[in-house]
Chain A
Amino acid sequence: MASLLIQNGRVIDPKNGIDEVADILIQDGTIAAVGKKAGKSADKTIDADGLVVTPGLIDLHVHFREPGREDKETFETASRAALAGGITAAVAMPNVSPVADNQTVIEFIIKRARELDLINIYPTGAITRGQDGVMLAEINELKNSGAIAITDDGSDVHKEGLLKRAMEYAKTCGVLLMSHCETKDLTEDGVMHEGWVSTQLGLAGTPAISEEMAVYKNVLLAEETGARLHLMHNSASGSIRAIREAKARGSKHITAEVSVQHFALTDEECLGYNTNAKMYPPLRSQEHIDAVIEGIKDGTIDCLTTDHAPHIEPDKLKAFQDAAFGTVGLETSFAVMNTYLVKPKHISLAQGIEKMTAGPAKIIGINKGHLSVGADADIAIFDPDLEWTVDEKKFFSKGRNSAFIGKKLTGKAVYTIVGGKVKYDRGTIVS
């Protein structure tokens, strides 16, 4: 296999505490050397002068829509979008059709990812059969066929007794349980964050407490059962508080993510009935955003995700209350993190990279997200200063439904390397 030399980039490898200008030599798909003058020559050389070289980003929350809704997205289109965003590994949510509540679907996903050979895709299985919150899926079977975690994402496991048993069972199987937190009786028909903006728009609101109560419930049950719990897409100040308290109590088996839109955009994006700003959890008001950013700064939040949720245009061209929930994010997540966390100096670039590489890798227990010698050569190279305007017509994703359309962002992937092979090269997918 060929060798590749990345020269003169600012190498940021948070797990190994590296943040310096260095070269990286890749041989046979793995990292052979990192350092000044790591290699003299190679089959291919990338000049990364002025660029940032990081481990490939890992996104724990992606809706690939395949199988079932290939009109919205496929493994291929989402993988291409991921590459364009510097993402080399992604976790697939199980709410597809048929639901990934059985080994056949898990095996299909793994097979598709292998055939495509674009990015690393890790499937998750459902907690309950059909994700209907009634009976447990065959969790051990899911794990054995390759599911990296179980989740009913898209809906909350409402029944506390069932959720407790799911955690006990997940612990027995040694599998991570990821929770979508929403108290449906409080959400009711809510279509956006409940507050001043929803009142002005005359739209039914989803109160923050709907999420917060569910987070508290999940935390308490995880502490009771000792299960490995990962809390998905936290957006409310009370959720951050609940997780911070749990961690302060020493509950190290509980981890949490924030989707990047939830610290970047407020509910005011919904003004004008902008359905691209409709999602669950909803974009919230500034005080929640402040709390989320505080949670990222103090380590309450372990990783940043996209919750990439592509839709076809007709599903978003409806009246706001009837439009589909979700925003795409694979092609913008690094830029959003850089623009809304690093540029305003909430965190350093290295801290942001950590939450998108080593942080998520640790949560799902994969040996990725770092640039140690011998590691898989999954690498992203960013131009951290490049300013660009989000234009949905240029997306690789089938989904055009971005909450960031028209926003000016700073930072963009230039090259994305998976397993030592350059898969994305200055705007083009190499396959």
Chain B
Amino acid sequence: MVGKNYEERFEGLADKIFKNAKADELEVRISHNDSALTRYANSKIHQNIARNNFNLAIRAVFGKKIGSATTNALDEDAALNCLTRAENIARNQRKDPDFKSLPDVKGLKDKKDIYIDKTADHSPDQKAEKVKEIIEMANEKGVDRVYGAFKTESSGLFVANSHGVEGFSRLTSSNITTCAIADWDNDQGFGWGEMCSADVSDIDHLHVAKTAVEKGLNNLDPKKIKPGEYDVILEPLAAKDILIYLDMMGFSAKSVQEERSFMNGKFGDKIMDERINIYDDVSDADMIGFPFDYEGVPKQRVDIIKEGVANKVVYDSYTAGREKDKESTGHALAMPNPMGPLAMNLLMDTGDYPLEDMIQETEKGILVTRFNYCNPVHPVKGILTGLTRDGTWLVENGELKHPLKNLRFTQNLIDAFNNIESIGKERKLYSMGYWPAYFVSPALKISDFRFTGTTEF
């Protein structure tokens, strides 16, 4: 858990660092993360862990020369050594002509936490009990084995700089996954369920398991289908997998400034179906995230794709400083960061179609639960490849006809988002997993989605 005295403790340490600093500008960022993860495989808990760590990051600036250093030791000696390293690097640095200054934004203290004590205090015993119930339920339904992970974490973030920026915020997150393998001996019957919430009390582990189990049992004896262009129905999780890559390939100011975004030269143009609205908004009721970024700038809502039009991208202070009359939108990652800013609280607007209606209105198409190992083939053209996973079905005449062996797609996402047939009326929150980023997506029905290969399973 994030201790009740941590804000005071971090402020106290930051004060000592500021008092000893010689730099013209200084940023102190202190973070804490406490996480617990119970993994289960072959219907047994096989990995069960807890981690607790701090990180102190100092950015020192002399004129336009910047140096950064980090340590995970929070005693005064280690902190001052970290300061010395950051200042020494800055002194020996080259000038960065594009650097304007550290952010100068006040008022962070009014921002609220998304912190649920029950999540932070969730015990290994509680997780083990829920995993046990998942396994028992799967056994009763006739599924051979279940796999997955149940994670809870609490994080604290403190940012202060020499311009008077100062903020502290806490958040919690919980996430559960279940992968069912209905027929282990024949390596088939894969199904998936997943749920994410700031409040662990909202995690309905049996609903997640039921979803995975039902998909697994309906995914026996999958058949092969010829690659080609098909109507595709992406469940919210599969839509999220694609949304992540749109974000990575094009939604940051840095990717635009370096001319590697599919948004380049298209601002103000309609590049997607007019029903597509994609925006970053940490204040949305469905979202989890710190209210300010890693430079201490409050996160603004940014309407990235508005009614299909390429509208805006997200900025940190550095990328904002490189353009005339731009300000940070509050999307800095931990600096320095070669990636630049990133939309980490991305949402897509819903439409008016229940998933069932999407299926019912499909003459011939493919229903996808989720994707595996996606990767850009050509970021500027927006071309992505990846494979289906854990439940893919052929839809014919409005019904699921039979499960399909997994398929590879290679698709221009901009084309795909112009070929939207319908958008789901419900949307779900998902954790990215690798980074503390969250995505909210509805189901999507897309025509002429290009599958380029098949598998044997």
Same complex origin of A and B:
no
